[in-house]
Amino acid sequence: MERIVQKFHSFDQADDAEYEYYRALSGNEKLQILIELIMPENPDAAIIERSARVHPITEHEEC
């Protein structure tokens, strides 16, 4: 993802520029941004972390 820095004189100008940027993106580009935001950098680490949280709960359910 290419990062671009812009300066604005007001918050309204910044908001308008942001809305226009997202309006110009295709659906696939918006989806790619969403995936980049929600996916961890190392998916294997996320699986291990979730397993560590879920495993103790499943052990107690069998009792």
Q: Which residues 6+ apart lie within 8 Å of 40 measured at CB?
A: 46
Residue 45 and residue 19: Cα distance in Å, rounded?
34
pLDDT digits (tens, 9 = 90+) for 25-34: 999 999 888 8
pTM above 0.75?
A: no
**24 CB-near residues (< 8 Å, 6+ apart):** none
Cα diameter, the chain: 63
Return the structure tokens found at 7. 């300066």
Q: What is the pLDDT of residues 34-63, one digit of tens each?
A: 888 877 666 666 565 665 565 555 555 554
CA-angle at 46, arms to 42 and 50, nearest 5°: 170
